[in-house]
Chain A
């Protein structure tokens, strides 16, 4: 088993773009999906991203922090999962019901174990 970080990026936000009924459905589907991952013991941690993200950049040797550019693509949250390999991790990402509700991209990053591979 290997750990994978799944970063969810959406165009717009479910909180503002969905109707209350759609949002209700969205939450139900999400809860079921996450519940399943937990039951299978594949979920290590998951969290939605709150408002107020900042980005820290180096401008000519000076570190600055500013608002994260959220005009189009929003980081909606992350999942830390454990899966057999990248293929299983991708399948898990594909099964996320969020794809049905809002334009979404999920990045799947394999985590390097202690001591490398």
Chain B
């Protein structure tokens, strides 16, 4: 007999790591329009584990036990409403024969196919007809084993909102008959772009803010990396330059994740971070993927951002950061993406190279941008420039605006501290 809390922990862990695989495999069998059925079967199997394991003990191989239970539940559902449901076209006739039903459900549970099915799931979730918000909610739910409350926490929104996004996404898949497959031929490059964009967005959700749910946010980042690795390892996708660049970008950023907060959860800027806390193994992987990404001639946003991140990672200390090279990279980035956020980031590099005064006049041109007007980062950046020029009353005004706009408690606390430094 095992301890209930130990079992709950194990099930949590398995849910995170196995449910995405199981849901992907079952979705291939049931068809993408029955994705919720696959989710239900997997959910039920985990509940079964919580019920049974305290009495029967934890099985030797818990994940294969779960696969077995999920398979049997799927088997029951298929035999029960064989004639009521339409399954995937490819599998349908195998699911409707007594001789082939069980072998069909036995067959797909091999490692290679589990990986392929997760790739199919990525392309299905990231179909261009689904809104980006819904795409990432769906990825987290079906591929990463996140619960609705967890997704809500990661997005800083309500469970109801997340639920609506999921319902809408599944509806789109059903209504548009979005297939469960990796697109072929010409389509693949364009579709891959959408998938990478979504995963990058997902990573940023985990990486950008730092609320109390730091652990969940780090797991979001880890999951984003895991998904891109699946794409990177797939032989069907030929041009992987952008894939490796994104992987490098995420790994290099994630390697600094744990140094960004002190023990009390306060935000630490690059300048204050203890660089010995960086995850150097992850950083190494990031560097080697960056090298791999340069095989093709093209340069994507990911290439540039990853290289900027690499400059931050390779600086032994903050003072030694190569801001000149970083500024050159931002100049290149602006040619591809001249959005206000990019220009704001460029201004920071500009301040380091040409002084805060020059950077402030750059910011003036961005002041009217509607995106930045409501973004605290604009005002907190401006404040830092003023502080550098000893213009403390200007800095205070900017910081007060920033505090009003900052969404997270940790951010407000950080800005409040900066404000008290200015007096």
- The chain A residues found within 8 Å of chain B, CB to CB, are 30-31, 34-35, 38-39, 43, 45-48, 77
Which one of A31, A39, A45, A48 contacts B102 once the chains associate, using CB atoms below 8 Å?
Answer: A31
Interface size class of B (residues with CB under 8 A): 10 to 19
- Do B99 and A48 have beta carbons less than 8 Å apart? yes
B97 within 8 A of A: yes
Given contacts A31-B106, A45-B93, contact A38 B99 (CB under 8 A): no
B104 to chain A: which residues have CB within 8 Å? 38
- Do B107 and A45 have beta carbons less than 8 Å apart? no
- Do A35 and B99 have beta carbons less than 8 Å apart? no
- Do A48 and B106 have beta carbons less than 8 Å apart? no
- Mostly, the B contact residues are helix
A38 to chain B: which residues have CB within 8 Å? 94, 100, 103-104, 107
A77 to chain B: which residues have CB within 8 Å? 99
B98 within 8 A of A: yes
B100 to chain A: which residues have CB within 8 Å? 34, 38, 43, 45-47
Write 17 A-B pairs (CB below 8 A) sorted by A numbering.
Answer: A31-B106, A34-B100, A34-B103, A35-B103, A35-B106, A38-B94, A38-B103, A38-B104, A38-B107, A39-B107, A45-B94, A45-B97, A45-B100, A46-B100, A47-B99, A48-B97, A48-B98
Extra contacts, 18 of them, besides A30-B99, A48-B99 (Cβ < 8 A), are A31-B102, A31-B103, A31-B106, A34-B99, A34-B103, A35-B103, A35-B106, A38-B94, A38-B100, A38-B104, A39-B107, A45-B93, A45-B100, A46-B97, A46-B99, A47-B100, A48-B97, A77-B99
A45 to chain B: which residues have CB within 8 Å? 93-94, 97, 100
A35 to chain B: which residues have CB within 8 Å? 103, 106-107
A34 to chain B: which residues have CB within 8 Å? 99-100, 103
Instruction: Give Cα A46–Cα B103 distance, bound, in whole angstroms.
Output: 11
Count of inter-chain pairs, beta carbons less than 8 A: 32
Instruction: Give Cα A48–Cα B99 distance, bound, in whole angstroms.
Output: 7
Instruction: Give Cα A30–Cα B98 distance, bound, in whole angstroms.
Output: 11
Instruction: Give Cα A10–Cα B139 distance, bound, in whole angstroms.
Output: 50
Instruction: Give Cα A45–Cα B103 distance, bound, in whole angstroms.
Output: 12
Which residues of B in the span 91-118 have a Cβ within 8 Å of any Cβ on A?
A: 93-94, 97-100, 102-104, 106-107
Instruction: Give Cα A30–Cα B106 distance, bound, in whole angstroms.
Output: 13
Instruction: Give Cα A76–Cα B101 distance, bound, in whole angstroms.
Output: 17
B98 to chain A: which residues have CB within 8 Å? 47-48
A31 to chain B: which residues have CB within 8 Å? 102-103, 106
B102 to chain A: which residues have CB within 8 Å? 31
Instruction: Give Cα A45–Cα B104 distance, bound, in whole angstroms.
Output: 11
Q: For A36, give the chain B residue with the smallest CB separation.
A: B103
Instruction: Give Cα A31–Cα B102 distance, bound, in whole angstroms.
Output: 7
B346 to chain A: closest CB distance in Å?
Answer: 54
Instruction: Give Cα A39–Cα B106 distance, bound, in whole angstroms.
Output: 10
B94 to chain A: which residues have CB within 8 Å? 38, 45
B327 to chain A: closest CB distance in Å?
Answer: 56
**Which of B103, B106, B107 has the most A CB atoms < 10 Å from its CB?**
B103
A46 to chain B: which residues have CB within 8 Å? 97, 99-100
**Which of A34, A43, A77 has the most B CB atoms < 10 Å from its CB?**
A34
Q: For A27, give the chain B residue with the smallest CB separation.
A: B102
**Which of B93, B100, B102 has the most A CB atoms < 10 Å from its CB?**
B100
Contact with A along B72-103 (1 / 0, CB 8 A): 00000000000000000000011001111011
Q: For B93, give the chain A residue with the smallest CB separation.
A: A45
B411 to chain A: closest CB distance in Å?
Answer: 54
A30 to chain B: which residues have CB within 8 Å? 99
A47 to chain B: which residues have CB within 8 Å? 97-100
Instruction: Give Cα A64–Cα B99 distance, bound, in whole angstroms.
Output: 31
Q: For A30, give the chain B residue with the smallest CB separation.
A: B99
B101 to chain A: closest CB distance in Å?
Answer: 9
Which residues of B in the span 252-267 have a Cβ within 8 Å of any Cβ on A?
A: none
B106 to chain A: which residues have CB within 8 Å? 31, 35
B112 to chain A: closest CB distance in Å?
Answer: 12
